């Protein structure tokens, strides 16, 4: 079973969330490339997103669909969230890129809430796969 097939077995709200995640963590940061003040944030967000996605795919191939798949988000998006918070404290960020940064940061923080919770549950012994391949 592929990762896409495993995700398709999850509740519909998770699929909606993953679609939002695609927008908030991959598409919205592209808009930040327009403004000089947010280009580093754009590259950081896109880099963290790509590294996370590649790592999640690799982990899925090694372990299956388990709660620990959020670990790459924890490693790459926690520092990104800190950077975005610092960026928002600067007065020189124009209003539109500031709004985009809020969308990206909000998306990342919600994802991290799920990821930290799942990683903790995994560490405490909840290692049941979240999706099972079809029998046969």
The answer to the question of residue 129 being in a domain is no
70-90 pLDDT tens trace: 999 999 999 999 999 999 999
The answer to the question of residue 134 being in a domain is no
Counting the structural domains of the chain, the total is 1
The predicted pLDDT at position 136 comes to 52
Q: Is the pTM value of this prediction over 0.95?
A: no
**Residue range of the domain that includes 42:** 3-123
b/e map 16-49, b = 16+ CB within 10 Å:
ebeeebeebbbebbebbeebeebeebbebbbebb
The answer to the question of residue 60 being in a domain is yes
The predicted pLDDT at position 130 comes to 76
């Amino acid at each position: 079973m592929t990762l896409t097939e495993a995700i398709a077995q999850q509740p519909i709200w998770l699929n909606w969330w993953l679609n939002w995640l695609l927008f908030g963590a991959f598409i919205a940061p592209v808009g930040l490339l327009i403004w000089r003040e947010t280009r580093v944030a754009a590259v950081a967000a896109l880099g963290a997103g790509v590294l996370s996605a590649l790592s999640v795919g690799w982990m899925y191939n090694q372990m299956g669909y388990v709660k620990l798949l959020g670990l790459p988000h924890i490693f790459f998006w926690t520092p990104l969230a800190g950077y975005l918070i610092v960026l928002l404290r600067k007065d020189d960020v124009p209003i539109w890129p500031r709004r985009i940064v809020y969308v990206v940061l909000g998306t990342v923080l919600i994802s991290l809430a799920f990821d930290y919770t799942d990683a903790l549950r995994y560490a405490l012994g909840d290692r049941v796969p979240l999706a099972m391949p079809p029998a046969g």
